[in-house]
Amino acid sequence: MDIPDETLAVQILNGDTHAFEILLNRYQKLVFKTAYRMMGQKEEAEDIAQEVFLTIYSKAHQFNPQKKFSSWLYRITLNACISRLRSKRPTVSGFSDEAVYGAADGAQGRLNPLTVLQQNELAQHIWKAVGELPENYRIILILRYQMDFCNQEIADILGIKKDNVEVRIHRARKALRKQLLNRDIRL
């Protein structure tokens, strides 16, 4: 039987290290993946993931059991990434999930190699441009288009209204489009 995340979070308050271990095992890959997408560097993402779980453990008393644990976790992860980004100007490379996770499937192997190369190059240009956007735009685009969260999930994670998410996505896409056009990159 799977114990709900919210129950485990409450058990952590009572000193249950096993509950913490279960949550760590459940979410460590997702936290790393989120941090990697925000930071673009494996080592930074590993450091942030460790920092996030230390925060979860030390600040479990701040969790509201009436809310989703995953939203709280993602918010802590994003805050850790934002703090790190603010402390130094990031060097966001044209990162690719395949560099960290390996190819998801063999689908690209069936495509024309030139097409695959062009798609990868375009993706690198796009994510490099995303990495240079202001952090509020970068965060919203990563949550929506890389993490594939729906607008309501993004609203929960960021603690804003769903309507605000839609406006921010629109503005972020507009800023991204402008940046790509300035670089003479056509989609």
Q: CATH code at 20? A: 1.10.1740.10
In this structure, are 124 and 67 located in the same domain? no
Does 20 have pLDDT greater than 60?
A: yes
What is the rounded CA–CA span in Å between residue 177 and residue 126?
9
In this structure, are 78 and 21 located in the same domain? yes
pLDDT digits (tens, 9 = 90+) for 84-138: 877 764 444 444 444 444 444 444 446 677 777 777 777 777 878 888 888 889 8
Other CB atoms within 10 A of residue 25 CB: 9
Which pLDDT does position 187 carry in this prediction?
59
Which pLDDT does position 53 carry in this prediction?
95
pLDDT digits (tens, 9 = 90+) for 131-165: 888 888 988 998 888 878 899 988 888 889 999 99
In this structure, are 20 and 82 located in the same domain? yes
Q: What global pTM score does this model have?
A: 0.66
Residue 109 is classified by DSSP as G
In this structure, are 15 and 72 located in the same domain? yes
**Mean pLDDT taken over the chain:** 82
Residue 77, in any domain of the structure: yes
Which pLDDT does position 26 carry in this prediction?
95
Residue 103, in any domain of the structure: no
Range of the domain at 34: 5-87
Last residue of a domain, one of 54, 87, 120: 87
Residues 171-183: what's their mean pLDDT? 89
What is the rounded CA–CA span in Å between residue 74 and residue 49?
11
Instruction: List the CATH number of the domain containing 130.
Output: 1.10.10.10
